Structure 1
Amino acid sequence: MHSLLLRQLRRHFGSADAIPDGWKLFVESVDSAYRQSDADRRMLERSLELSSQELLQANSEMRAVFQAFPDLFFRLDREGRIVDYKGSGKDLCVASEEIIGKRIQDVPVTGVGAAFRDALQQVRDTSSIVTIEYSMPIQGSERYFEARLLPMMHDQIIAIVRNITERRHLEEQLIQSQKMEAIGQLAGGVAHDFNNILTAILGYADLMLADLPAGSHLEAYGSEVKVAAERGAALTRQLLAFSRRQLLQVAILDLNEVVGEVEQMLRRLIGENIVLVTNLEPELTRVKADPTQVQQVILNLALNARDAMPGGGALSIRTSNLALVSPTTLEGADLAAGLYAVLEISDTGAGMEPEILPRIFEPFFTTKEKGKGTGLGLATVYGIVRQSGGMITVESVPRRGSTFRIFLPGATQTAEPRSSDPPARVGPRGYETILLAEDEENVRTLVRTVLESIGYTVLDASGGDHALEMADRHPGPIHLLVTDIVMPQMSGSELAKRLVDRFPAMKVLFMSGYAEKYPRGFMATGGSAFLQKPFTAAALAQQIRILLGTDRAP
């Protein structure tokens, strides 16, 4: 710029010396300004070049973040039209290349579009963040989502959509677990109260039958009363099994042996049109459980499978080992780390609809016709498995069949040899003095009547304090305390401790409808026994005679 201006001025004034000093100063000022301008331009160009590179890098990094992030990000215009989106396309209900330009409120799922429409309007009206939840079928399965809509500049809206299917399933499992626990508590309470009633019915039926002429129509009526009461007792046992309040006779078991013991019975029960197939793991992990209860679990599931295959089919029983190195949720069951023996029972029957599965373990829930089921079979299975420390899961496909899997924790000891003890015989009539403590009047009256009828002297009390008073007033020895465990003011266990301190030779027979009240610590000393309600008069007399024939350990 400087040389160009000087040439023009020399041409105008004739020579360089003829150029006035003022013009020379002007030329230098203009040239300096242009040089500064060029420097600024070059600096700006360099800055723009760097900014463009940084912006490209930032955009690349942001795209990588969006692709890795589990959420979907939608940029919407004021009308809800999708301008852009980022994130994984696995949760999109349409192909990702087709989504740009569509309105988010036009999603073709009943109720979902309306929810987005209302949310968009609320964002526009209030300029606040709005959250909605919805579900929709994607790739053949129902998925749950949470969408948060945020107002942005230039009337745009950002929608952040998160897949919450796993969280929703965990919440449903928790609710189901809490519901089953509440039902179990209710069932256990009902069974306890009902057991007291049945104890009186069974006991008086025994007394009545003992006095009626053999073969008379009155004896037949009495026998029917007893049979009906025993059926009621069987129902309460199933309720107690569901509520995990049964008294278990635990042993170290090989599940393969238990399956073998019931296999022949199963073949008779399921009929000739159903094929029974067993596939047993030869090195199966041992478990700690009640063998009788495990047999009941297998029988109940097998009978349930038989009823699902009226036209015939296949029933499969399989055992296997499972080793978990860390806590795991498997098929909806929360399992701690460790070894498990798995018992799997499958059928090729009618199967169950998905909406039925969450309720199948509830007491009295049944899909069978009226009169063909109590609805307690699977509830009993559930209770036994849970009381044994295990978990049970079910898979079912309509018209294809069902599979129940039972996971029982492995035991460290070896399996114990199984033997069946012969039933104890009822001893001769007694003569001893028995202190009876029972707060239920009908049960107390029955027990006193039964014991007095076979020769015992009975002191009956309505509670713990009353029993202590009677013991203090009685001048002679008291050979046996028969006490309910759950009583107001003072429990049967506390009463027994106080009386045994005074009368060391006294034996104790505990009665209860609650297995979890079983006084294990006290009974470890010997000289005591437990009789679960409801019981017959014969069972009561037999247990007392056996107990009075033993000595308490020092």
Structure 2
Amino acid sequence: MAVIDNSEAKKLKEELLQAHKMQAVGLLAGGISHEINNMLAVVIGYTELAQEAMTENTVVEEDLNEVLLAAGRIKTLVKQLLTFSRKSDRNVATINLSQAIQEALKVQRNTIPVSISIKQDIQSDRLNVFADQVEINQIILNLFSNSIHAMQENGTILLALKQVTLKKTDSDRPRDLVPGDYAILSFCDTGEGMKETTRQQIFDPFFTTRPVGKGTGMGLSIVHGIMQNYRGAITVDSIVNKGTTFKLYFPISQEVVADRSNNICESVPTGTECILYVDDEQQIVEIGRRILEGLGYSVVSLTSGMDALNCFFADPDKFDLVISDQIMPDISGLELIQKIHLHRKHLPVILCTGYSTQVDENKARLMDISFIMKPFVLHELAQLVRKVLDTKI
């Protein structure tokens, strides 16, 4: 008779429950983020239009700049929410993990109490991973915040980085990781440690051991979500009164780190082409039309996907570009584009959304569709429109 390993069965049940919790939070975050991003698109759009209309520097312009700064912070918060799903607007690329960690430490350094000692053990400074510098900053920020609280602002934190090759037979390989090469970032503190019951809950959204007003408990859940997005993993070992060690597993990337030294701030490009712009939000349509017309384009703007389709078929050769929202009540942006491409296969299109479970930048690229996330600022839209029009077949 086979012996049932109760501890293994319990672990599997806990991991399944954790996965269901994260999925539920991801769905909630996605729905909330879609609405917030749509509203942010309106706030940012009208603020930029107001700035464009001003003829001289005034106190009002300074006030508008503050509105844009606040909108940018909200946009970052929404981006954090979307790490619970796999639909965040991320600037993911092959980066040097050691350099990314050092950049994150620069951001964090001034917030770390002088009573805490920071030590580093970087065994390799040439580990390239597929990640986003902003998200690396979030990881370091949340781990530091957690450790500082655990150490009561007095102790030692050790950051160690090394490369390992995980095999299928390795007993300590995290269950979700496929065998292969990984960069392991270890984050060790000398804090109070955790009991097993606490350790099992630390990645749950909104679980916290902190007093009311001292934290939401979302920090480690965000880190968990980021590592899942990277197809990596995070584990934790803790001993009461000894300390806690987090290990973050990043899959090694074989790609070369992109050279961004030649990137420069480009002027806002203009044009004279005819654009069909569709979004079910009247305010967003109005903003898009005014921005694009201000850049010299001829714009037909509509709030219905079906109206846009009928408008296109009434004069298919009129338009040089279609810009469509993805989530609309009568027809989705993808469906609209597919119907248009049946008639004009190579007509350039840009799909935009505040959040969608059906499409993201990678999926859009595979379908040869340009993609932009809401909320976008004027120069982002202007540069993408010009790029798409200049590269059309």
Query: What residue identity is the alignment partner of 2:183?
Result: A
Q: Tell me whether 422-431 or 400-409 shows the greater mean CA deviation.
A: 422-431
Q: How does 1:59-458 map to 2 (within 5 A)?
A: 164-211=6-53, 216=58, 218-282=60-124, 286-326=128-168, 330=172, 333-368=175-210, 373=215, 375-411=217-253, 413-420=254-261, 422-458=263-299
Q: Which residue of 2 aligns with 1:482?
A: 323
Query: What residue identity is the alignment partner of 2:73?
Result: R
Matched residues in 1 for 2:64 and 2:133: separation? 34
Q: How many residues align?
A: 392
Matched residues in 2 for 1:466 and 1:354: separation? 59
Structure 1 residue 237: Cα displacement:
0.4
Structure 1 residue 427: Cα displacement:
2.2
Q: Does 1:551 align with 2:391?
A: yes
Q: Which residue of 2 aligns with 1:37?
A: none
Matched residues in 2 for 1:421 and 1:542: separation? 17
Contact map agreement 1:183 1:362 (CA 8 A) in 2 = no
Q: Which has the higher contact order (CA 8 A, sep 6+)?
A: 2
Query: What residue identity is the alignment partner of 1:509?
Result: I
Query: What residue identity is the alignment partner of 2:237?
Result: E
Matched residues in 2 for 1:403 and 1:190: separation? 33
336, 341, 350: which one pairs with 1:509?
A: 350
Unmatched segments (≥5 aa) in structure 1: 1-64, 71-161
Query: What residue identity is the alignment partner of 2:85?
Result: S
Structure 1 residue 405: Cα displacement:
1.0
Matched residues in 1 for 2:56 and 2:206: separation? 38
Matched residues in 1 for 2:112 and 2:96: separation? 24
Unmatched segments (≥5 aa) in structure 2: none
The structure with the largest alpha-carbon Rg is 1
367 and 202 in structure 1: CA distance in 2 versus 1, 3 angstrom threshold? farther
Q: Which segments of structure 1 move beyond 6 Å, counting only runs of 4 or more?
A: none
409 and 370 in structure 1: CA distance in 2 versus 1, 3 angstrom threshold? same
Matched residues in 1 for 2:364 and 2:183: separation? 33
Matched residues in 2 for 1:475 and 1:173: separation? 53
207 and 283 in structure 1: CA distance in 2 versus 1, 3 angstrom threshold? closer
Matched residues in 2 for 1:365 and 1:331: separation? 26
- Partner SS, residue 186 of structure 2: strand
Q: Does 1:465 align with 2:306?
A: yes
Structure 1 residue 213: Cα displacement:
6.8
- Partner SS, residue 257 of structure 2: coil
User: Residues 333-352 of structure 1: CA distance to partner in whole angstroms, max 9, x if unpaired?
Assistant: 44333333211112223444
226 and 264 in structure 1: CA distance in 2 versus 1, 3 angstrom threshold? closer
277 and 515 in structure 1: CA distance in 2 versus 1, 3 angstrom threshold? farther
Contact map agreement 2:95 2:131 (CA 8 A) in 1 = yes
Query: What residue identity is the alignment partner of 1:294?
Result: I
User: Residues 258-296 of structure 1: CA distance to partner in whole angstroms, max 9, x if unpaired?
Assistant: 334444444444243322211123397654334543344
Query: What residue identity is the alignment partner of 1:205?
Result: T
Matched residues in 1 for 2:229 and 2:324: separation? 26
Q: TM-score, normalised by structure 2?
A: 0.83
Matched residues in 1 for 2:192 and 2:55: separation? 51
User: Residues 459-494 of structure 1: CA distance to partner in whole angstroms, max 9, x if unpaired?
Assistant: 123343322211123486312211122334543234
Contact map agreement 2:167 2:179 (CA 8 A) in 1 = yes
Contact map agreement 1:329 1:335 (CA 8 A) in 2 = no
Query: What residue identity is the alignment partner of 2:26?
Result: G
Matched residues in 2 for 1:205 and 1:371: separation? 33
Question: Considering only aligned residues, what root-mean-square deviation do their CA atoms show, in Å?
Answer: 3.5
Contact map agreement 1:392 1:405 (CA 8 A) in 2 = yes
Calculate percent identity across the aligned residue pairs.
33
Matched residues in 1 for 2:265 and 2:349: separation? 18
Matched residues in 2 for 1:428 and 1:324: separation? 49
Matched residues in 1 for 2:19 and 2:171: separation? 14
Structure 1 residue 422: Cα displacement:
2.4
Q: TM-score, normalised by structure 1?
A: 0.61
Matched residues in 2 for 1:376 and 1:534: separation? 24
Query: What residue identity is the alignment partner of 1:496?
Result: I
- Partner SS, residue 335 of structure 1: coil
Contact map agreement 2:45 2:287 (CA 8 A) in 1 = yes
Q: Tell me whether 178-187 or 458-467 shows the greater mean CA deviation.
A: 458-467
220 and 259 in structure 1: CA distance in 2 versus 1, 3 angstrom threshold? closer
Matched residues in 2 for 1:220 and 1:286: separation? 41
- Partner SS, residue 318 of structure 1: strand
Structure 1 residue 172: Cα displacement:
2.0
